[in-house]
Chain A
Amino acid sequence: MTYMVFLLSVMFVIGFVGFASKPSPIYGGLGLIVSGGVGCGIILSFGGSFLGLMMFLIYLGGMLVVFGYTTAMATEEYPETWGSNIMILSMFVLGVLLEAGLVMFMAVSDEVEVVVSFKNMGDWVIFEGDEVGLIREDSMGVAALYSYGSWLMVVAGWSLFVSIFIVIEITRGG
């Protein structure tokens, strides 16, 4: 199972094809949830456990829940799924065939060259630095938002605050 993470990224792309082929939005949300979960698995395989948790909590548990109930508010009576319309099904099959072609190409030649060359051998390069002891690099990096990135924190917090007022102003209606 050397290529386990590559198989996870293939499932990531198939989840994306599932909502990019545009069924009814409730099924698109399902494809986005599957892709989000698999993407979290990819991040966990590289050792970023804090960012995987962040994705589940904030992205799937915050943003997609809001999308889910907004879709439930603005949906139609008979939502069309992947099997109910030949257009959606054919776009999905086309996307899966493209991905399968890419996987075959990668399996045969072990390198894909589009603009840069995507080879597997790049994983073996270890960048050495100073020894800093035992830290969790992703948690420490995010915690640096309070020290090195304090201005970024102020800007992001202020833009979130202003966006609440923008949303209130938009939904005030006329």
Chain B
Amino acid sequence: MPSIYVNIFLAFIFALLGMLIYRSHLMSSLLCLEGMMLSLFILITLTALNMHFTLSFMFPIVLLVFAACEAAIGLALLVMVSNTYGMDYVQNLNLLQC
């Protein structure tokens, strides 16, 4: 396996850790989710380019399509949270108190 992949995997793991560990903004976690999608796109593209799997170049495009859908819905939720509470702080989401 080429040695670049260890850096792409490490980037995915950093973005995953960044998404799971909250600081104050909800938007930072959405950005880390986009980073995960970016690293997956680059990983599958490099695999298809190295192995010359021509037909599997469909997969990064479809991954980008579904990542765009997911980003749009995440941003819509963030906009509604921001309209209700003024800011998108995670500590505002405290209706469920258990």
Contact = CB atoms under 8 A, between A and B. Distances in A.
Interface of A: 5-6, 9-10, 12-13, 16-17, 19-22, 24-25, 28-29, 32, 35-36, 39, 42-43, 46-48, 51, 54-55, 58-59, 62-64, 66-67, 70-71, 73-74, 76, 95, 98-99, 102, 106, 111-112, 114, 116-120, 122-123, 127, 129, 135, 137-138, 140-142, 144-145, 148-149, 152, 156, 159-160, 163-164, 166-167, 170-171, 173
A66 B55 contact: no
B9 to A, nearest CB: 8
Q: How large is the interface on B (under 10, 10 to 19, 20 to 34, 35 or more residues)?
A: 35 or more
A13 B62 CA distance: 24
A143 B17 CA distance: 35
Contacts of A102: 6-7, 10
Contacts of A138: 48-49, 57
A170 B15 contact: no
Contact of A9 (B8, B38, B87): B8
Interface string B34-59: 11001101100110111111111110
A156 B65 contact: yes
A58 B65 CA distance: 9
In this complex, which of B17, B28, B62, B78 has the most chain A Cβ atoms within 10 angstroms of its Cβ? B28
Contacts of A32: 31, 34-35, 38
Interface in B58-98: 58, 60-62, 64-69, 71-73, 75-80, 82-83, 87-88
Interface centre among B32, B67, B69 (most CB of A within 10 A): B69
26 contacts: A5-B4, A9-B4, A12-B42, A19-B15, A21-B18, A22-B21, A35-B35, A43-B46, A43-B49, A63-B34, A64-B34, A66-B75, A70-B79, A74-B79, A74-B88, A114-B6, A120-B3, A137-B54, A138-B48, A142-B57, A142-B61, A148-B55, A156-B66, A163-B72, A170-B77, A170-B80
B14 A95 contact: yes
A27 to B, nearest CB: 10
B58 A141 contact: yes
Nearest to B46: A46
B6 A118 contact: yes
Given A10-B7, A127-B52, A129-B52, A67 B17 contact: no
Contacts of B50: 46, 123
A28 B64 CA distance: 20
| Interface core residue of B3, B50, B77 (most chain A CB under 10 Å) | B3
